[in-house]
Structure 1
Amino acid sequence: METINITRSCCISCLSRMEDKMEKLNTRHQNLVIIIILFFLGVSQIFGQTDIHTFQFSGLPVYHWDVVNVNSPNQDQSRIFLYFKTAFDELTFVREDSIYKAKYEISVVIADEDNFQVDGKVWQEEVKARNYEMTNSRKFFSITYEQFDLPPAHYRITIGFTDLETKKTRPDKKKLKLKDFRKGKLAISDIAFVRNLQVDSLGVKSFTPEIADYIVDVSRELHGYFEIYSRIKDENYEISYHIRNAKGKKIFTHNYKRRSDGERTLENFPLSLGDLPQGRYELRLNVKQGNQKSDTKKNFFIRWTDMPSTIYDIDLAIKQIKYIAEKSEWDKLKKADPEEQLETFKKFWKKRDPSPGTPANEWMDDYFNRVAYANAKFSGFRDGWKSDMGMIFIIFGPPSDVERHPFAVDSKPYEIWYYYNINKQFVFMDESGFGEYRLLTRSWEDWRNLIRH
């Protein structure tokens, strides 16, 4: 059973009814803090482009976050809620007396399309665990949130999630469009996935948010929450929603009617996901009032707690282990029936678990973190994990050193990756001139002999 630790001062209340009780930072101090954050983020990006080994790949905290856009009570503004979730296993705990504590910091910088900072915030959270087993659990989570009111427009959000014990930060970026819900006669907010829903005579009172791309406990009650904004009087709503799987097949649909509560209606509906397997899905919502219509959609992912959070699709994950699987293992995985695939995949990694007595399989985690990094850094005409650079990075990890020659006079651009621990080097050349570096030092059997399970 999934257990959630809400690290803010109260249960997260209904999106637009929630009053901002957080003490506002001194403006000059806040701007100074954010400028410093931007400086260090910029420095890290510069060094990351210069030498891959300067990127602290191992041990970065893993977290998941979600953005929900609703109407703001402030005139001519739109509101976003940022929700963050991290498993206890991803944090570094320190024992203090009879309990264990972990601390993390989140920095948010919001910039407009001209990359000018328009808002941001930095805050810290403390997480407590009763015993050592909880600190290594992937079933206990910490959730925190923040809200921002901004004019409807396009923005860029930069996130920094720092484990304050290890001082390691995992950055992330996302482009976002804030909607103008006052345009037109009918509009609906983004969908929020929520648990522990509390309802009163006015509608939804409070809830605990769930992160759409990291749903791991489908046995517990889950709802979709949204808000309807209307300037039409005395008309009921016709509401419909359906769920599609990754192949676009509609697997669930429901329709119902709902009376209007006036200009703003708080609504929710149950989501029955218990029978759905791990994978990616799309929830689409449609609202009709008279001759007016409005719709929105939200992607979500159902995951296993005993698998790395970077695995989205078991079929794809099986393809991605071809670099380390023996031929007999590879054939067995490819020929396995859909019902047997997951167990066969788990057995493959169980043989390679460096610490069988713990819940986590460190090598599996590291391997698929490398896959995710390869996709982020080396994707081009094909997925990053399929590229030559991605393949070498996945097999051997970050190089000890990188020698780059982007403007060589007597040759096309090339790079040399050095691995001092195995006394190997790999040369990549951009033969096409489009940034797709191909491996020149091809010796597959040599690489295979260096891999030990």
Structure 2
Amino acid sequence: MKKIFVIALVFFFSINSAQVESSGNLDVSNFYPLFFIDAANYKSNEIGKTRVDIFIQVPYASLQFVLENNKYAAKYSIQLTLYDEDNEKKIIERIWNEEVYANNFEETKAQFSYNYSYKNFVVEPGIYQLRCELTDRDSRKNYAVNAVANVADFQNDLNLSDIIFISKKIETPQGIQIVPNVSHEVTRKDSVIQFFYEIYSKKNEEINLNYRVRDKNGEFIYSDSETRTIDSGKTRIYAAISGKTFSLGSYDLFVQVMDNDNKLIQTISKKFQSKIFGLPTSINDLDKAIDQMIYIASDSELDEIQETEDYEEKLVKFQNFWKTKDPNPNTEENPVFIEYYRRVAYADEQFKNYVEGWRTDMGMIYILLGPPSNVERQPVALSSKPYEVWEYYEINRRFVFVDETGFGDYRLLNPVYGDWYRFRR
């Protein structure tokens, strides 16, 4: 049975610098989103300290399930460690095990099946290094997130906690409980986007609250406001963005608190992503995703989509192209579609230098052929330039990449691009 933590009054801030790492060599299956993590800081009951809450959301698809007693079981461990700013001294560590059960094989791969974990720290305000490591106890695969955690100080006369997006709000006899939206993802079908935060004040006062949303181009596309009378101490705010749908992409939600003279007191913000059902989660920009089809689409197919001016029509053509690549149209998920953009995302992260990683020679080969069977690396030496050799045993091919500049700009030795393009899938 899927375990879900329903947490009352927990709030999280986005760790913008988090990177998902893999311990395997160029294993595309080990790439984001292997799991989502959100961290929060808010006012603690301990004077001079802040409480940091950690919420972890693990997709079933990232886990190895084994059939046990007519059910599918997955087991994994999580190690959560907080270090000082220099990453030298361990401040706090939490280690625990999780077990997940599914009734059938289809559930183990379902797009919206997750397991949730929650932990917290109480620490002094400051800058910390956070590491969250997940180990699958059956496959032995290991994944990690490293991030800088800025722990806030709540000593001003008025302070705001971090924002948490709400997946579900539940009314109980004990009060309102919320299930956090850890991934910060919404869809174009969401007519209301709920969120929560707290205000800490040293006096009773009337304040003005402004809510604004900024798109990836820096333009504010949504604005709303309200006036609140708050009491001394803690005030819980449940708010929502309504009457607005968001196209595919990344957005920033801003909450501003103003006094009666309309003077800005504090601003907090949080990113969220608008997704389209059926599209890989790594896709945040339609035009960029179309450009990245260069390794799988013909020139005429690419031109046909790129030259379409209407956004909705362009989206339909993009989706129709990938339907032609679906090996099993009767299922909800298109494995070729998902795999291709996982490779693109991995290449973009691992091979970037002067250009985006998916545009590099390494990125091209990786996207076309996937992870190599073997990688041989030659670092800097007096007698030769750094190089890597990728071998693909199944097709009996070998690719040599040489770093001519010494700055990690690996180029394919003797490239015959027309030849490599015949590997398009």
| Superposed pair shares fold, TM > 0.5 | yes
Q: 1:213 aligns with which of 180, 184, 187?
A: 184
Does residue 307 (structure 1) correspond to residue 279 (structure 2)? The answer is yes
Asked if 2 retains the 8 angstrom alpha-carbon contact of 1:245 and 1:282, the reply is yes
**Mapped pair 1:285 → 2:255:** yes
Aligned pair 1:155/2:128, yes or no?
yes
Q: Distance in 1 between matches of 2:73 and 2:274?
A: 29
1:335 matched to 2:307: yes
Question: How far does the alpha carbon of each residue in 1:147-166 deviate from its partner, in whole angstroms, 9 at most, with x for none?
Answer: 22221111122222334443
Q: Which digits, 9 at most, give the CA deviation of each residue in 1:57-111, with x for residues without a partner? A: 4366722222222122222211222222234444444455565444443321221
Q: For each residue in 1:273-325, what CA deviation from the matched residue of structure 2 results, as whole angstroms up to 9, or x when unmatched?
A: 76222221110110123556011111100223322222222211111111121
Write the mapping of 1:381-392 to structure 2, written as runs, cut at 5 A.
381-392=354-365
In the alignment, is the contact (CA less than 8 A) between 1:64 and 1:214 conserved in 2?
no
Q: What is the SS of the residue equivalent to 1:344?
A: helix
29, 54, 78: which one pairs with 1:58? 29
Residue number in structure 1 paired with 2:14 = none
Which amino acid is the alignment partner of residue 325 of structure 1? Answer: A
Query: Compared with structure 1, are the counterparts of its residues 315 and 273 closer, same or farther at alpha carbon in structure 2 (3 Å cutoff)?
Result: farther
Between 1:270-279 and 1:105-114, the stretch displaced more is 270-279
After superposition, where does 1:107-118 map in structure 2 within 5 Å? 107-115=79-87, 116-118=89-91
Work out the CA distance in 2 between the residues paired with 1:208 and 1:156. 26
- Residue 360 of structure 1, aligned match among 321, 324, 333: 333
- What CA distance in whole angstroms lies between the structure 1 residues aligned with 2:135 and 2:296? 32
Distance 2:293 2:284 in 1: 14
From 8, 20, 23, the counterpart of 1:13 = 8
Q: Report if the CA contact (8 A) 1:406-1:414 is conserved.
A: yes
Q: Over residues 386-419 of structure 1, what are the superposed CA-to-partner deviations in whole Å (9 max), with x where a residue is unaligned? A: 2222222222222222232322323332222222
Secondary structure at the residue paired with 2:333?
A: coil
Measured in 1, the distance between the counterparts of 2:385 and 2:392 equals 23
- CA shift for structure 1 position 362: 1.9
SS in structure 1 of the partner of residue 166 of structure 2: strand
On the 8 A contact 1:370/1:393 being kept in 2, the answer is: yes
SS at 1:340 equivalent: helix
- What's the TM-score, normalizing by structure 2? 0.87
Q: Which string of whole-angstrom CA distances, capped at 9 and with x for unpartnered residues, describes residues 1-48 of structure 1?
A: xxx95534xx211128xxxxxxxxxxxxxxxxxxxxxxxx99x86xx6
State TM-score, norm by structure 1: 0.82
Question: Which residue number in structure 1 is paired with residue 233 of structure 2?
Answer: 263
Distance 2:329 2:61 in 1: 16
The 3-state SS of whatever aligns with 2:290 is helix
Structure-2 residue corresponding to 1:226 = 197
1:186 pairs, out of 139, 142, 158, with 158
**How many residues get paired?**
412
Where has structure 1 moved over 6 Å in runs of 4 or more?
A: 199-202
Counterpart residue identity of residue 224, structure 2: H
**AA partner of residue 278 (structure 2):** D
- The answer to whether the 8 A contact 1:77-1:151 is kept is yes
Give the whole-Å Cα distance in 2 for the aligned partners of 1:273 and 1:280: 18
Which one has the bigger strand percentage? 2
- Cα 1:364–1:249 shift into 2, 3 Å: same
**SS, match of residue 366 in structure 2:** helix
Is residue 2:210 matched to residue 1:237?
Answer: no
Aligned ranges 1:413-424 → 2 under 5 Å: 413-424=386-397
Distance 1:133 1:221, change over 3 A: farther
Q: Write out per-residue CA displacement over residues 182-238 of structure 1, whole angstroms, 9 at most, x where no aligned residue.
A: 1x2222111001143356999x7421111243334853754211111222x232111
Residue 171 of structure 2 corresponds to residue 171 of structure 1: no
Measure, in 2, the Cα distance between the counterparts of 1:376 and 1:250: 29
**Alignment pair present for 1:377 and 2:350:** yes
CA contact (8 A) 2:165 2:184 kept: no
The structural deviation recorded for 1:341 is 2.1
Tell which deviates more after alignment, 115-124 or 209-218: 209-218
SS of the aligned residue for 2:319 comes to helix
**How far is 1:422 from its partner?**
2.0
Instruction: Name structure 2 gaps, 5 residues minimum.
Output: 12-19
CA distance in 2, matches of 1:83, 1:107: 13
- Partner in structure 2 of residue 326 of structure 1: 298
User: Contact 1:108–1:122 at 8 Å: present in 2 too?
Assistant: yes
User: Which letter does structure 1 place at the counterpart of 2:361?
Assistant: D
Amino acid across the alignment from 2:41: N
Alignment of 1:437-448 (within 5 A): 437-448=410-421
C-alpha change, 1:199 and 1:264, in structure 2 (3 Å) is farther
Aligned 1:73-152 pairs, distance under 5 A: 73-97=45-69, 99-115=71-87, 116-152=89-125
Q: Percent same amino acid among aligned pairs? A: 34
